[in-house]
Amino acid sequence: MQVKEYKPLIVAFCCNWCSYAGADLAGNNRLSYPADVKIIRVPCSCRVNPMFILRAFQRGADGVIICGCHPGDCHYTSGNYYTRRRMAALFSMLDFLGIEKERTRVEWVSAAEGAKFAATMNEFAETVASLGENKRLEDLRCKR
């Protein structure tokens, strides 16, 4: 029986105006990052509900990253400020429950930062790969 080598499944919530465009730019410039990074486009990073993050882990994600515009440059003026507070609180709580802190991250990527996007994804995927599969927030019913 062939055992598939473990590759981390990363879910990246990218805001439409900055980080998604940044991802596009990375693609245009043929900068590679792992195919296991699944991008979900949201209008603004503050659209991300903590339930989305837990749901991603439930459905098999090993790492979740939220990308948005740089603070001060939000397309909707202040959305990412709320993201910052919300995710700070949530990440601290996840850490409190013993979930590995390296599995979650917030990164600010602008539309011009294609290289940063690819570099971030590569680095994040590597970090999550070294942690192994997500066991603490997994839902066995959803295993493939």
Q: Structure tokens of 122? A: 């590569």
Q: Per-residue contact track with another protein, 36 to 55, x per CB under 8 A? A: --------------xx--xx
- Binding another protein (rule: CB under 8 A), the pick from 9, 48, 90, 118 is 90
Q: Min. distance of Cβ 19 from another protein in angstroms?
A: 15
Q: Is the distance from CB of 76 to CB of 138 less than 8 angstroms? A: no
Q: Out of 6, 38, 101, 112, name the contact with another protein by CB under 8 A.
A: 101
Q: Give SS3 for 41.
A: strand
Query: How many beta carbons lie within 10 A of that of residue 115, not counting itself?
Result: 14
Minimal distance in Å, beta carbon 27 to another protein? Answer: 26
Q: How many CB atoms lie within 10 A of CB 107?
A: 20
Cα 135 to Cα 126: distance, rounded to the nearest angstrom: 17
Q: Which amino acid is at 26?
A: A
Q: Considering beta carbons, is residue 26 or 64 the nearer one to another protein?
A: 64
d(CA 121, CA 139): 25
CA angle, residues 50, 108, 53, in degrees to nearest 5: 15
Binding mask 59-78 for another protein (x = CB under 8 A): xx----------xx-----x
Of 7-15, 24-32, 58-66, 115-123, the segment contacting another protein by CB under 8 A is 58-66
Question: Is residue 84 near another protein by the rule CB under 8 A?
Answer: yes
Which positions touch another protein (CB under 8 A)?
50-51, 54-55, 58-60, 71-72, 78, 81-82, 84-101, 105-106, 136-142, 144
